[in-house]
Structure 1
Amino acid sequence: MGGQISVRGVTHVYTNRYTRETVLALEDISFEVEQGEFVCIIGPSGCGKSTLLYLIAGLMRPSMGEILVDGRPVTGPGPDRGMVFQEFAILPWRTVWRNISHGLEIQGVPKEKRDEIVRHYIRLIGLEGFENKYPYELSGGMKQRVALARTLACNPKVVLMDEPFAALDVQTRITLRTELLKISLQLSNTILFVTHSVDEAALLGDRVIVLTRRPGRVKEIVRNPIPRAARDEHTMENPAFIEYRNHLFYSVRSEVQVAEHEALVRG
């Protein structure tokens, strides 16, 4: 299927269009993601996690460096990459079924094939019985299921997820991340998942990329000691997992502490 991501020496600078002031968001970022991997990105607030995801999506162009998917440079958005946002980005005037079919309609997929694909993802994501509901009739968790199903239905090689569970309550978030693990085992898509939650990253990611404080750089890339197929809500009790999770926590925490100290010195 493909879906290998190469990020090579990426630096990104934001420039205020009015004052021309600049902010260095990312600096010299390099890493590889293999086809079918589930990789999470964590780091202090403001370190450029979402910026990095938008660059890979092709929604922005890096100031320096290059990003490739399956060896081809990313120059803009494309059907090989699908994005799931923190906000519930679904169309309020369409039912669940028609929201999921939206991208397929744009691609010109014939109705019979389109209905077959939508039916598959309705079952996979756990939306049976909600096919004819409108977004205003759904909970936040159900809306995010619809957004995920719509993205997966278009079969992108790479699924980019920008804190998709951040706006949900704790119990819904726990349920959805466990279900996402199960779903990912049935798919061949590469998944790149940005989150503020160390616990979420530790549970979901086959590897976790830790970014430094701004400007974001790759501090370390840590491999999960527990295979994806063996991870579930009980994994949190595994001693090897606890050690791994704590390593990630203190790696991020040390960056936050340095950033806080630097802010005090400047202030």
Structure 2
Amino acid sequence: VEETKKSFTDLIHCIEEAQENFVERIREQEKREMEKAEGVIEELKKEIEELKRRDAELKELSDTKDNVHFLQTASSCCALPDDGDSLRFTVTADLSSEDLRKELSYLRKSLEKISQWDIMALTSDFCPLTLDINTANRYLRLSEGNKKVRWRRTKAEYPDHPDRFDEWEEVLCREALTGTRCYWEVEWSGHLIRIGVAYKGLSRKRVESGLGYNDKSWSLQCSPSQYSVWHNNKKTVISAPYSPTIAGVAAASTDSTSGTRRCCSGDSSCRLSDLWWGFVKAIDLTQSKIRTGKSSIIEV
């Protein structure tokens, strides 16, 4: 995190320095062009004065009666300046605003791409989670590459499978969360869902297979009005603001006193729950308990 902050700070300083240098160059060029323009104006003033003088001489000459004097003087009064004496004013365009706009546009697009990076995908242990259709209850429909689940009123024609949930509208992820620490996120919408983790040995065919209703699973029940934690059929209500994103952190250890797990709301900086549970085995991310009669969506 600190290295990332330093990189962006250095980039900001670089942009600010480039801005200062560019503005200074523009001001210097503006000063040079103004000096050139002022010089041209002075020359034009002198030329105007010279033309006025010649005009006065010509008017005076037009009144003379001496033809010889007229011819001798008129030639000098009517002489045109050489081409080399004519004034030229050229604006130097060393700095191209169009080129600057193009370069800044490229930089802006690059920064927009960086802002859209999936930070989780940058970690060496990142694993994209997908839902296992062989575990999905028949009232659930998977979509978007098995990363999204939605409840439906009618049953799907899924084939029988020993891993399929029959009693509860639940589905497991294919990938197990293993190791000492795991992190995952879920986005949800709807009336009521349960999100959590479970041992792989969780029953799929009995009433006791409900997520959080047994000693093999932990769940966070989410609704627009309330959050509650469930484990072994025990409920603990949590006070927290509504969040469409739920983040979970799971830690596993061979020491049952140090293995812990917690769930937290993405918008509350993990303040959703201060509750911790012992959790010492490899775990699966489990989705979801969705109440019958209400449409809900979950994405992983």
Q: Taking structure 2 as the reference length, what is the TM-score of the superposition? A: 0.22
Larger radius of gyration: 2
Higher relative contact order (CA 8 A, sep 6+): 1
Q: Taking structure 1 as the reference length, what is the TM-score of the superposition? A: 0.24
The structure carrying a bigger helix percent of its residues is: 1
